[in-house]
Every structure is written in C-alpha cells, then in structure tokens.
Amino acid sequence: MRARLVLVPAVVALLVVAPWLARQTLVFGSPLPGQAITNAWAITGFEIFAWRNPATFAGYLAAGPAAWLGDRANGLAHNLLSVLALPGVPVAVVGLAGLPWIVRSRTLRMLLAFTAATFAITTLVFPVQTTWGTYLHAAAPAHVLLIVSGLAALDSGLAWVGRRREWTRPVAWLGPLFAGAGAILFLGLGIPSYGSSAAGTEARYAGLTARFEALGDPLDPTVPVISNHPVWIAEADRVRALGLPDEPVSSVLEIARTFGARYLVLDGTLGAWPARLATDPDAHCLAPVALPPGTGRSAGTEDVTVYRVACP
C-alpha cells in the first residue's frame, strides 16, 4: 500500500516532466539542469543569462559575509511573503500560523518534509536566483500544504471559540466557508488581474511581428532574436529567443555569431542596458532600427527598442 502511494504520484510526475526532459536533451544535449550549481554562486540575478562571465565560486567568496547574509535574508522574505503568504491571503496566512500543529499529522508528514526541504534549499543555497523565480516554480506542494493547514487551523480555532462560548450547535461548516470566501476573493480579483496583465504583455510582444513585416524583414521562426525578455518573445512571436546577458556588447556579438541572431530587442532595462550603449567601444555594431509605427495589436510596442547586429 505504501509503495503504491509513492509510485503512482511518481509516475504521474514523470509523465508531466517528460516533455521538458526531452526538450532539454534535444536543445542542450542533456536532460539535467547543468546551470544549477552555477546559480548557487550568483551575486546578481542577471547572472542567470551570463555568456562570458558566469557566476563563480571565487566571485561569490569575494562578495563577503555581509552579502551572503543579506542575500539569504532577502531570499527568505521573498519566499515567505511574496511566494507563500501574499498570493493566498487570507488562507495562506492562517495556514502558516497553523503549521506547528500540522507537524503532528502522520498523513501530511511527507508533504511537510518535502515542502520544508524545498523551501530551505531554495532559500539558503540559491538565495539570489530564488528572487527570480526558483522557489516560485517549486512552491505548488507548499500551497497545497498551506490550504490544508489553513482549513485545519480554522476548524480548530472555531471549535475552541465554540467551547469558550458554550455553543450548542456544530459549526464545522464555518471554517470551509471562511476559506471559500477567501478563495472567491482571490479568484475574483487576483486571477483576472494577473490574466489581464499577461494578456496585455503578450499583445505588446505579438505586435512586433507586424512591425517587422512592415519593415520588410519579417521575423524568421528559425532565426533567433536576442532579448531581455526572451520568454515573451518566443511565446508571443513564435521565434527562437536568446537571453540578453548583462555584459559588454562584445558578448552580444559573440552570441549573435554563435547562433545566427540578427536582432536585439530591448524592452526597458537590464542591468547596465541600454546605458552601456553610450560608452561601450563596440556599440556601433548594434545599429538602432526604426520600426514602422504600430497599429492595432502592435500599437503598444513603441517603447521597445530594436537593434540590428551590424558587425560580422
């Protein structure tokens, strides 16, 4: 029985992750996340896109104890508040308060152990990169645990109030009612807000396709584009995208030569970008492109700057 309880979820998890593993193997030659150890030495989140200057153990040591402690404090606050508490208010907050009592539950012991291990590793081992989403993408078990803990805490709290006030009727339905009201609040306000923001961003990037077509040089799905928002470029414009490193222009030129990229699409800032274009000796190799004005879906992309790789 116990083996089945472990094996069935394991098989389901493997089926879910199998496409990602296959993609990793086809694109990078290995299903394993080879950058994981390097991320532990990160001093800034921008190093996740590093090309020539990846994070190193020597650089990490040079940062000093104050930076190490500060990074972990920031990681702890981010994971605890931004990832766990705030997205699930108020149920998640109640669930966090009720965790000490959940520890005694044999049924939830494995879930609690996995959640605690994931939280500790992402906070202590990857304190910088966790603020860029490391724990956010691994926190689903923790949210399930907080929901269960929150319901149990509400139930126990109402039972205690009932005993103190000598209620004669059962009130077991009140705990789920409060949790449901909190969930409806999140679904009614939070989810539409997130969805509207994501749809607007997708529309902005999708509009770039029409502007490149109007330029007379349409985006080619097989030719990669370098960008500080590569995920949105790839998703909205259906082209290959490469992450822009916070490094000199020479690194960008090397990436372009290696992968055949012809354009850099910059939306907002990334570290020293675009300020370094005013001082970098190779800045002339990135020629500004005046895309035609956007219309319709592409009307919101005027603040996106595009550069053509002008040096071989």
72 close to 81: Cβ distance less than 8 angstroms: no
Looking at the 3D structure of the chain, how many domains does it have?
3
**165 with 49, same domain?**
yes
Q: What is the pLDDT of residues 264-279, one digit of tens each?
A: 999 999 999 999 999 9
**27 with 38, same domain?**
no
Within-domain flag for 182: no
**38 with 143, same domain?**
yes
Span 120-127, mean pLDDT? 96
What pLDDT band is residue 249 in, cutting at 50, 70 and 90?
Answer: very high
Q: What is the pLDDT of residues 3-33, one digit of tens each?
A: 777 788 889 989 999 998 898 888 778 887 7
293 close to 215: Cβ distance less than 8 angstroms: no
Tokens at 273, concatenated: 């970008």
Within-domain flag for 183: no
**145 with 75, same domain?**
yes
Q: In this predicted structure, what is the pLDDT of residue 296? A: 60
**19 with 71, same domain?**
no
**156 with 38, same domain?**
yes
Distance CA 293, CA 212 (A): 10
How many other C-beta atoms are found inside a 10 Å radius of the C-beta of residue 200? 10
**42 with 128, same domain?**
yes
* Of 121, 123, 129, residue with least CA distance to 35: 129
Within-domain flag for 129: yes
Least confident of 1-15, 78-92, 110-124, 164-178: 164-178
Peptide bond into 90 cis (omega under 30): yes
Q: What is the pLDDT of residues 39-79, one digit of tens each?
A: 999 999 999 899 999 999 999 999 999 999 999 999 999 99
Among residues 112, 147, 172, the one where a domain terminates is 172
Residue 272 sits in a domain whose CATH number is 3.40.190
**232 with 152, same domain?**
no
Q: What is the pLDDT of residues 159-175, one digit of tens each?
A: 787 778 777 777 777 77
Within-domain flag for 279: yes
More confidently predicted of 127 and 98: 127
Q: Would you say residue 186 has pLDDT above 90?
A: no
286, β-bridge pairs: 309
Q: In this predicted structure, what is the pLDDT of residue 27? A: 78
Distance CA 170, CA 232 (A): 51
Cα(first)–Cα(last) distance of the chain, in Å? 64
Residue range of the domain that includes 13: 1-32
**120 with 58, same domain?**
yes
Alpha helices by DSSP H, 29-56? 36-40
Within-domain flag for 156: yes
Among residues 143, 172, 201, the one where a domain terminates is 172
**261 with 302, same domain?**
yes
**49 with 95, same domain?**
yes
Span 118-134, mean pLDDT? 95
Q: In this predicted structure, what is the pLDDT of residue 297? A: 56
Q: What percent of the chain has pLDDT over 90?
A: 55
Distance CA 40, CA 166 (A): 55
Within-domain flag for 188: no
Within-domain flag for 38: yes
Q: In this predicted structure, what is the pLDDT of residue 71? A: 97
Span 244-253, mean pLDDT? 96
> If 0-12 CB within 10 Å is exposed, 13-18 middle and 19+ buried, where does residue 212 land?
buried
**47 with 120, same domain?**
yes
pTM of the model: 0.82
Across the chain, mean pLDDT equals 88
How many other C-beta atoms are found inside a 10 Å radius of the C-beta of residue 294? 18
Within-domain flag for 195: no
Q: In this predicted structure, what is the pLDDT of residue 301? A: 59
Tokens at 11, concatenated: 């098989």
Contacts of 308 (CB under 8 A, 6+ apart): 262, 263, 264, 286, 287, 289
More confidently predicted of 87 and 51: 51
Span 288-293, mean pLDDT? 89
Q: In this predicted structure, what is the pLDDT of residue 258? A: 94
130 close to 79: Cβ distance less than 8 angstroms: yes
